Structure 1
Amino acid sequence: MELFNQTNHWAEKLQPLIQKYQGKKHPLDYQNTYQLMVMVILSARDSDANINKIAPQLFEAFPSLESLTQINLETLLPYVSKVTNFNSKASWILEIAQTLKEDKNIPQTMVELTALKGIGRKSANVIMRETNAPAEGIIADLHVIRVAPRIGIIPETADGIKAEKLLMQALPKDIWSEIGMAISFLGRETCRPSKPKCPECPLQNDCKYPLKTI
């Protein structure tokens, strides 16, 4: 009963944030599920801005998984060479292409997505949220890991898997799909690491951040 009351408490408190960012597209500038999956893999330990910059040329050359099945690693590398850990990521993407063969075979469940090389829970949650698949977890990117404890939802942790687990315990499942991305957008736009824009925050009355300026 205590946990139920806690999750209901946060569900109510977080509604203004969910309403603000409901359905807002991820900052990765993808056009379809194939592009989304590839860009999510490439974006690990890199910036969305950098991936958006290299994506047009990459997808002009290789517009589908099927096109990737026709090439080798040496052919792909020049298109992703400006991405962090590009050699491994390129290998993972080519392995996924050989496994799935066609775009229509891209899975939308946690078990199937995380079985693919280069896709962990965070990446799978992003793909599932952006494709409107039923949520099986909560996006816990670097912004969420930083902001969720600041708000007071979970204790501080640098571990994304632990942060996601804590969020799943603290929040009702019916908001899992949107809340991770909503907190991420809050961290990108308002709740900055330094000098957060607290007066602009939809959670300003409930946030636990001790240095609020309001």
Structure 2
Amino acid sequence: MDLFETSNDWAKKLEPILTKYKDKKHPLDYHNLYQLVVMVVLSAQDSDAHINKIAPALFEAYPNMESLAVSNVDALIPHISGVRNFGTKAKWLLEIAQTIKKDKNIPLTMDGLTALKGIGRKSANVIMREAKVPVEGIIADLHVIRVAPRIGLITETKDGIKAEKQLMQILPKEIWGEIGMAISFLGREICRPTPKCPECPINSICKYYREHQ
């Protein structure tokens, strides 16, 4: 029986990336919780780099939830018209702002966040990780969905919820808060669609590396 299939000591195996990326800020260039929530909603099916580019002008016009709550779709759209699905996202953001009303009312639980329009488990996990509150899941973004099966952590899936569920079953809860983002950063920097395996700090435990070296 292969060591990779029998060992449950994934926390130890993944320690190099947990150490490398611990507490590293999410690539969205937010400056407070309100900005993070707005940018997370906008970044769905769009790039973090693109959202970072449009954010300064957007937040100059809408510095907080209160200013957003009294706006409307026609006023908001010019600020986000380059974003994918901007029409739907404008409605979501206005509904979030009208529900929450003030920045201090932003919920920081999985149920509270996923009750808001445009925020699923992945987005909620990102917000909770960045806010440094006790986590209730594991970030499973497109990088994690690509990289985790390569490592041998989970079976291949295109579904973020399924990927997260598998990760939660195999990984100890004490690393949930950081491991999703650590795998995501690994995917952004090293384990690209064409991976740079020699540079990878966990290539010694990686199924893909073992099969392709």
Identity over aligned pairs, percent: 70
2:196 counterpart residue number:
197
Match of 1:40 in 2: 40
Letter matched to residue 204 of structure 2 = N
Residue 191 of structure 1: CA displacement? 0.4
Which secondary structure does the structure 2 equivalent of 1:99 belong to?
Answer: helix
Deviations 1:8-32 (A, max 9, x none): 5101100111000000000000000
Q: 5+ residue gaps in structure 1?
A: none
What is aligned with 1:135? 135
Instruction: Tell whether the 8 Å contact from 1:114 to 1:120 is kept in structure 2 after alignment.
Output: yes
In structure 2, runs of 5+ residues without a counterpart are none
Q: Is the 8 A contact 1:8 1:172 kept in 2?
A: no
Conserved 8 A contact 2:58-2:80: yes
Q: TM-score, normalised by structure 1?
A: 0.95
Is 1:164 the counterpart of 2:164 in the alignment?
A: yes
Q: Conserved in 2, the CA contact under 8 Å of 1:7 and 1:172?
A: no
Structure 1 CA distance for aligned equivalents of residues 7 and 17 of structure 2:
16
Corresponding residue SS for 2:9: helix
Alignment of 1:1-214 (within 5 A): 8-194=8-194, 196-210=195-209
2:197 and 2:209 in contact (8 A); partners too: no
One-letter amino acid of the counterpart of residue 100, structure 2: L
CA–CA separation in structure 1 for the residues paired with 2:185 and 2:137: 17
CA distance in structure 2 between the aligned counterparts of 1:64 and 1:6, rounded to whole angstroms: 50
Shift of 1:123: 0.2
Conserved in 2, the CA contact under 8 Å of 1:140 and 1:164?
A: yes
Closer, same or farther in 2 for the Cα pair 1:166/1:172, shift >3 Å?
Answer: same
Note if contact 2:113-2:124 (Cα within 8 Å) is conserved in structure 1.
yes
Aligned with 1:83: secondary structure? coil
- Total equivalences in the alignment: 209
Let me know the Cα RMSD of the aligned residues.
Answer: 1.5
- For the residues of structure 1 that align with 2:96 and 2:191, how far apart are their CA atoms? 36
TM-score by length of 2: 0.95
Q: Could you tell which deviates more after superposition, 117-126 or 68-77? A: 68-77
